[in-house]
């Protein structure tokens, strides 16, 4: 083998190795890429971003407080039912 053939083989191996690294990097970035989509949150039309598939539950903007409607009897200053605060 001559020096010329060794150089050609070395260049060929470097090109092949570079292509393999580029293909692996391309596949790796596409597998782990997270696609984001916009969706509208009802009933007020708030726009949010999220990844597919969108798994989210309905979360109302207003929730009743804990023990809402629970009242207890108070005799001072006059007899009445007062909410727990």
The reply to whether 11 falls in a domain is yes
How confident is the model over 26-75, as pLDDT tens digits? Answer: 888 766 666 677 777 777 777 777 665 565 566 667 776 776 778 889 99
pTM of the model: 0.38
How confident is the model over 6-20, as pLDDT tens digits? Answer: 888 899 999 999 999
The reply to whether 63 falls in a domain is no
The reply to whether 70 falls in a domain is no
Q: State how far the Cα of 40 lies from the Cα of 46, in Å rounded to an integer.
A: 6
Q: Give the model's pLDDT for residue 17.
A: 95
Can you give the residue range of the structural domain that contains 38? Answer: 1-55
The reply to whether 37 falls in a domain is yes
Q: Give the model's pLDDT for residue 59.
A: 63
Strands 46-51 and 36-41: antiparallel
Task: Write out the E strands in 1-85.
Answer: 36-41, 46-51, 71-74, 80-83
Q: Give the model's pLDDT for residue 45.
A: 74
Number of domains within the chain: 1
CB of 52 closer than 8 Å to CB of 35:
yes
The H-or-E segment that residue 15 falls in is helix 3-31
């Amino acid at each position: 083998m001559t020096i010329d053939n060794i150089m050609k083989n070395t260049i060929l191996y470097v090109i092949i190795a570079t292509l393999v690294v580029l293909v692996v990097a391309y596949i790796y970035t596409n597998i782990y890429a997270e696609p984001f989509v916009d969706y509208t949150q009802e009933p007020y039309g708030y726009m949010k971003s999220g990844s597919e598939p969108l798994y989210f539950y309905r979360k109302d903007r207003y929730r009743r407080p804990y023990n809402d409607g629970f009242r207890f009897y108070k005799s001072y200053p006059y007899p009445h039912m007062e909410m727990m605060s």
